Amino acid sequence: MNKTVLYILIIVFSNTIGAISGMGGGVIIKPVLDAFSGDPLIAINFYSSFAVFIMSIVSTFKNAKKDIEINWWEILYLSMGSLIGGKFGDWIFMYLKTLLKSDNILNLVQIIIVIISLILALIYTKSSGWKFSNKKKNVLFLLSGVFLGTLSTFLGIGGGPINVALLIFIFNFGAKRAAIYSIASIFFSQFMKLVSLTTSLTKLPIDLKLLPFILIAAVLGGYLGSTISNKVSNKFVLILYKIVVIFVIGLNFYNGVTILNKL
């Protein structure tokens, strides 16, 4: 299959699912590209972050018109934390890339952390029943943003499944509200990653001709996903979320075994 067509199909599908469930698409894009594209890890991380960033813009714009309770101050604190975490996560990625001097080993580290995180996300996709004062809640949103931004940017997956599980568990959100907050935080964490890479674009193994196609596919996926999200229930979103998480755990496990066979 033509590489451009492969990227378009993967990104439209992933971002559609990601926008519905709040997972962001990157959690599907990265392992699928790892398995089928043959591109270097840093290029895959960039393409995934770019696609998820564009999707988050489209989805956040459409979500702002939804009939779901949104506290923009809470999103602001979460997003501020995501900005800080996004910068820190990118620093960790580049530091380990230099330290390990092997894409395969770094990718294996990412895969192990993704699998552990997704298993925990599956277990804790339920409300804790905890209650906090507004002041404590804002601090928790900020700290949650730092944690989620760091993890998602380092892993190159947008972090959506972990975002959704954490928001449901700590803040007792419904699945659709958690999805909206998750997409907003993804926007800021991926923004920091892209800004840090922009200055060295010409030095990276990135095919710039692919970017317009990724842009179009990301917009289409974000639009389709947020449109479908308006028409489905909280229960549907939660079921879809769990199905995709299980699929991604399996795909990451396959990629991990493939890398181990190369070492």
**Digitized pLDDT (tens) for each residue of the chain, 263 residues in all:** 688 898 899 999 988 887 787 676 777 888 888 888 778 878 887 888 888 888 888 877 776 666 667 788 888 898 889 888 888 888 898 899 889 888 889 889 988 988 888 888 888 777 777 888 878 889 999 999 899 888 877 877 666 678 888 888 898 888 778 878 887 777 777 777 777 777 666 677 888 888 899 999 999 988 888 888 778 887 888 888 888 888 888 988 988 998 898 87
Domain count, the chain: 1
Residue 4 CB-half CA count within 13 A: 9
* Residue range of the domain that includes 256: 3-262
For helices 175-198 and 72-100, angle between their N-to-C axes, nearest 10 degrees: 50
Handedness of CA 155, 195, 94, 80 (dihedral sign): negative
The rounded distance, in Å, linking the Cα atoms of 50 and 11 is 11
